[in-house]
A = this chain, B = another copy of it.
């Protein structure tokens, strides 16, 4: 029976797993769980993941959730995944675990909190929380500095000085990719100072092409819609002389 991946491409850890499976030629079925339709709350999906979140997988009678655990499982249980993704060597593996552990309370908290409170909230019918955005921005910029100065220290193009990407590179790059939803100026303000981070994102994208862009396409399209909405709003404001919040229904 094929591996089943329950995902919504609007979720960054879902994207990481889909790209990983595609790059490694895993024979899998993508099952779309549409978060905007709250499909993750169905009893059928709760039987797979009681936390009602994507991504999750079912492999035969085995179900699993938490994206890092899934990446490690697929890399370990499926033949043909190149060693650089999740090395057999205990010490190299340990360093990858350390990056993934760090991810949770740092980059994830910062990036997800910032994008939610600056872009996504109105699309989800939630109020924008300026204080939470400012708090998340601090965590995000400190996390980007840490990636630049600690995790990307070394000769290689990838985290931990590697010359080929690991599951940690893919997971963290997919997390950062959600910043694409910010408007151009905001995006450049946040990512601009981190040149090494930008090169590393480009390297990871390049090492996983064409799947990286194919899976991120949903994000690129939403970005385009947001920019169009923003310019037509700016246009309207110029005409009416009124400034108002961006309110959008997905």
Interface residues of A (CB under 8 A from B): 50-51, 62, 64-70, 72-73, 76-77, 90-91, 93-95, 97-98, 100-102, 104-105, 108-109, 146, 150
Contacts and interface: CB of A to CB of B under 8 A. Distances in A.
Contact of A68 (B64, B90, B101, B146): B101
A47 to B, nearest CB: 12
Nearest to A150: B50
Contacts of A50: 150
A175 B147 CA distance: 27
A172 to B, nearest CB: 14
A108 B50 CA distance: 20
A134 to B, nearest CB: 16
B66 A98 contact: yes
25 contacts: A50-B150, A51-B102, A64-B94, A64-B95, A64-B98, A66-B98, A67-B101, A68-B97, A69-B94, A69-B95, A69-B98, A69-B101, A72-B97, A73-B90, A76-B90, A76-B94, A77-B90, A77-B91, A77-B94, A100-B101, A101-B104, A104-B104, A104-B105, A105-B108, A105-B109
A96 B93 CA distance: 16
Given A66-B101, A68-B101, A94 B73 contact: yes
Total copies of the chain? 2
Nearest to A60: B91
Nearest to A74: B94
A50 B76 CA distance: 30
Interface of A is mostly: helix
A135 to B, nearest CB: 11
B150 A102 contact: no
A105 B94 CA distance: 20
Nearest to A104: B104
Nearest to A65: B98
Contact of A66 (B62, B67, B91, B102): B102
Contacts of A64: 94-95, 98
Nearest to A94: B73
A72 B91 CA distance: 10
Given A65-B98, A68-B97, 14 more contacts: A51-B146, A51-B150, A66-B97, A66-B101, A66-B102, A69-B98, A72-B94, A73-B91, A73-B97, A76-B90, A77-B91, A100-B101, A101-B104, A105-B105
